[in-house]
């Protein structure tokens, strides 16, 4: 594939100009001014579009998809090794889901949930409550992850209003986190580059932050894991005390941190410790499993395997819920929250027009049925283990070209992150000419037929350092596909390195 003809490198065409420069190698949605300024610039063929795209380049157009393969408009077939953004958990074109959507369109396409409920929404809610390991009693549906976290913020507040604790107005989340792109969720989370443009609009009165739980970067060299957890627990308790413990609504965390730092699990005992602080002061313990949940980590909920088995009071799920067949997210409520609202107001005072959309719920129900019927969580664990071991072997074994620069390979289930580091003495051996390694690898992998996600800024609190890539293939990925993904990824990494060696 010639670079200039490759759809990745088409760029927005100004009306009077057929050609334009494009900045290669940026991550969708994670661009920062600095990286934009420093990225490599290539002159390429433009293609008209009326969409204001969210990438500095004009993305290629996908024409069709089947399983983990996506065929582009020009006929190129690529492997989507990241399921969009950890969304397409059973790939494209599953016949069971297609049929369920068709049946639902024939039957009922839309009702407004302020007037009427609908059968697929009721069934999906029942499924989520029944499969929740006794953690949940009620749920509500929205249209995606940001909406789910927005609903979490509002439901948590409603809970304390209904239960006569209106003084509670503060949320504590973590640095290097992401909870969505609305203003409230950007305020709640702390993703430096995604917040940058909107800083003046963010709420710093009600939303507060404590340290991330990221041992490989932030655990001190003279600290045991237990001591590190205790330090983080103490920091949370100190923050409660600083704000006034009876003013705190809840502590909010991604069970496994996604895009910001790249599939980072908390140390053992961390969630138990954080929950103990919430319990001590009567606040809610809230988990964002928009990316990590619904099977991605090999258990239906990530907290079952990666959160000390500690169930939250409120939980958001989204991506793997609908698997990309429809826009859907959900908030799952524990008995405590359910009773607090149901037994007082009796209803949720928050909502949107497309909440509990019948088509989205029918699609989602079918996706969940496929995951159960095809025993896909078993596959997630087996293939995930294999994917992790191949990544370690090919990137970290002593004779691997990338070993000196591979800071960490981590993850679980069908979700893996690789963090690279060029800050040490080895980093002097390479020069990316102002580009960012993860982004250049992402672009190179795409040219070779593989979609991955590259990110920057996850290795320090300011969001100015770090390169990581993320893999989150469909739960039904095969052994051969795993091997192909790793082959192309490692080839891309090695090619970029070889082209960048200066010594």
Ligand X SMILES: Cc1ncc(COP(=O)(O)O)c(C=O)c1O
Closest Cα to residue 413, out of 248, 253, 301, 271?
Answer: 301
Per-residue 3-state assignment (H helix, E strand, C coil) for 370-388: HHHHCCHHHHHHHHHHHHH
For strand 62-66 and strand 69-72, is the pairing parallel, antiparallel, or unpaired? antiparallel
Q: Is residue 84 within the footprint of ligand X (CB under 6 A)?
A: no
Q: Is residue 89 within the footprint of ligand X (CB under 6 A)?
A: no
For strand 170-174 and strand 207-210, is the pairing parallel, antiparallel, or unpaired? parallel
CB atoms within 10 A of CB 372: 13
Q: Is residue 473 within the footprint of ligand X (CB under 6 A)?
A: no
The pair of structure tokens assigned to 289 is 């499993």
Nearest residue (CB) to ligand X, 319 versus 444: 319
Nearest residue (CB) to ligand X, 189 versus 377: 189
Residue 147: CB minimum distance to ligand X, A: 7
Q: Is residue 149 within the footprint of ligand X (CB under 6 A)?
A: yes
The enclosing H or E element of 138 equals: strand 138-142
Q: Is residue 472 within the footprint of ligand X (CB under 6 A)?
A: no
Map the footprint of ligand X across residues 361-380, applying CB under 6 A.
none
Contacts of 223 (CB under 8 A, 6+ apart): 231
Nearest residue (CB) to ligand X, 7 versus 180: 180
Please identify which residue in 85, 135, 249, 474 interacts with ligand X, judged by CB under 6 A. 85
Place of tokens 């065929």: 71
Helix axes 335-342, 145-162, angle to 10 degrees: 60
Q: Is residue 330 within the footprint of ligand X (CB under 6 A)?
A: no
Dihedral sign (CA 302, 195, 252, 210): positive
Binding footprint of ligand X, residue count (CB under 6 A) = 16
Query: Which residue is closest to ligand X by CB?
Result: 145
CB atoms within 10 A of CB 14: 11
Q: Is residue 407 within the footprint of ligand X (CB under 6 A)?
A: no
Compose the 275-304 pattern: x for residues touching ligand X by CB under 6 A, - for all others: -------------x-xx-------------
The pair of structure tokens assigned to 257 is 């941190």
Compose the 168-197 pattern: x for residues touching ligand X by CB under 6 A, - for all others: ----------xxxx----------------
Residue 374: CB minimum distance to ligand X, A: 25
Residue 89: CB minimum distance to ligand X, A: 14
Contacts of 246 (CB under 8 A, 6+ apart): 165, 167, 168, 281, 282
Residue 177: CB minimum distance to ligand X, A: 8
Q: Is residue 417 within the footprint of ligand X (CB under 6 A)?
A: no
> Which residues make up the interface to ligand X (CB under 6 A)?
85, 144-146, 149, 178-181, 254, 258-259, 288, 290-291, 318
């Amino acid at each position: 594939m010639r670079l200039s003809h490759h759809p990745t490198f088409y760029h927005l065409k100004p009306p009077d100009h057929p050609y334009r420069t494009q900045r290669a190698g940026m991550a969708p949605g994670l661009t920062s001014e600095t990286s934009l300024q420093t990225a490599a610039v290539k002159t390429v063929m433009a293609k008209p579009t009326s969409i204001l795209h969210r990438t500095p380049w004009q993305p290629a157009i996908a024409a069709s998809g089947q399983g983990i393969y996506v065929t582009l408009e020009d006929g190129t077939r690529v492997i989507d090794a990241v399921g969009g953004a950890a969304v397409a958990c059973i790939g494209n074109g599953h016949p069971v889901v297609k049929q369920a959507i068709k049946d639902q369109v024939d039957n009922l396409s839309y009702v407004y949930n302020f007037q009427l409920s609908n059968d697929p929404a009721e069934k999906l809610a029942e499924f989520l409550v029944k499969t929740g390991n006794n953690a949940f009693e009620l749920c509500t549906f929205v249209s995606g992850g940001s909406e789910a976290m927005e609903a979490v913020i509002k439901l948590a507040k409603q809970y304390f209003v209904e239960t006569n604790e209106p003084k509670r107005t503060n949320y504590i989340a973590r640095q290097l986190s992401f909870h969505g792109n609305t203003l409230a969720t950007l305020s709640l989370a702390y993703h430096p580059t995604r917040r940058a443009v909107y800083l003046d609009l963010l709420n710093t009165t009600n939303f507060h932050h404590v340290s991330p739980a990221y041992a490989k970067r932030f655990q001190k060299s003279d600290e045991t894991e237990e001591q590190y957890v205790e330090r983080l627990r103490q920091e949370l308790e100190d923050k409660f005390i600083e704000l006034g413990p009876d003013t705190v609504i809840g502590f909010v965390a991604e069970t496994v941190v996604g895009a910001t730092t790249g599939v980072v699990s908390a140390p053992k005992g961390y969630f138990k410790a954080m929950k103990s602080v919430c319990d001590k002061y009567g606040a809610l313990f809230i988990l964002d499993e928009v990316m990590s949940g619904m099977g991605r980590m090999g258990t239906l909920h990530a907290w079952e395997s990666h959160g000390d088995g500690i169930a939250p009071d409120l939980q958001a799920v989204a991506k793997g819920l609908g698997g990309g067949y429809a826009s859907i997210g959900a908030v799952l409520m524990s008995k405590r929250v359910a009773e607090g609202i149901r037994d007082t107001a009796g209803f949720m005072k928050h909502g949107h027009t497309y909440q509990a959309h019948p088509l989205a719920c029918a699609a989602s129900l079918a996706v969940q049925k496929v995951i159960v019927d095809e025993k896909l969580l078993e596959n997630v664990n087996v293939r995930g283990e294999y994917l992790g071991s191949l990544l370690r072997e090919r990137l970290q074994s002593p004779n691997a070209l990338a070993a000196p620069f591979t800071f960490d390979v981590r993850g679980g289930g069908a979700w893996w992150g690789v963090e690279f580091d060029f800050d040490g003495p080895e980093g002097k051996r390479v020069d990316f000419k102002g580009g960012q390694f993860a982004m250049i690898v992402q672009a190179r992998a795409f040219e070779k037929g593989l979609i991955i996600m590259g990110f920057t800024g996850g290795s320090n609190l300011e969001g100015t350092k770090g390169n990581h890539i993320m893999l989150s293939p469909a739960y039904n990925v095969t052994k051969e596909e795993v091997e192909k993904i790793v082959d192309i990824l490692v080839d891309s990494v090695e090619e970029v390195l070889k082209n960048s060696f200066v010594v």
